[in-house]
Amino acid sequence: MPTRSLQGRKRRLTLADMPKRAPWYKDGLSFTCTQCGNCCTGEPGVVWVTEEELAQIAEVRGESIEEVRAQHTRKIGQRVSLTERENGDCTFFDPQTRHCTVYRARPAQCRTWPFWNSNLESREAWKTTQQSCPGAGHGQFFPLEEIERLARVIDV
């Protein structure tokens, strides 16, 4: 039975060998925050925070990090999330002004909205985001590189 040399065989293509398809938003997207507060309200969820972010929030609030942790966070598995009120509003959302009370120190998850991987996974996901966020699709232009940079900050 003849044997084949591995040198003469063609290498099998892998996913890494395939050309990377450009994302559907390759031409960029527009977004300008209207400060409507919709991203801070509604269905309960998670807003992941780091120790550094908690320290910044504590400084803005004039409280100790221990106070902020005890009054405004909950542990989920190995991670920490901000709490919400009974109606789903973020713990730092002011319903009277519809603004964030810790805006200067808001967590990365908030700073990178709406450029979350979950919102970018398809045109349909982006259209759903636009239904609840009046700033998505309007205003400041974000090129592909900036969108991808923001999406890498935190995986949501």
pLDDT tens for 14-43 read 545 546 789 999 999 999 999 899 999 988
pTM: 0.82
User: CA distances (Å), 74 to each of 49, 51, 79, 94, 138, in order?
Assistant: 10, 13, 9, 20, 34
User: CA distances (Å), 13 to each of 7, 9, 22, 44, 154, in order?
Assistant: 16, 12, 19, 44, 31
Extract the tokens encoding 28.
């960029």
- Number of helices (H) and strands (E), helices first, in the chain? 6, 6
Strand partners, 143: none
> Looking at per-residue confidence, does 6 or 63 come out higher?
63
Q: Where are the alpha helices (DSSP H) in 11-143?
A: 51-61, 65-72, 108-111, 117-120, 123-132
Q: Which residue has tokens 């996913």?
A: 15
Q: Which residue has tokens 């807003």?
A: 47
pLDDT band for 114, please (50, 70, 90 cuts).
very high
pLDDT of residue 43: 87
pLDDT of residue 123: 97
> Looking at per-residue confidence, does 14 or 104 come out higher?
104
Neighbours of 57 (CB within 10 A): 24
pLDDT of residue 1: 47
pLDDT digits (tens, 9 = 90+) for 60-89: 999 999 999 999 999 999 999 999 999 999
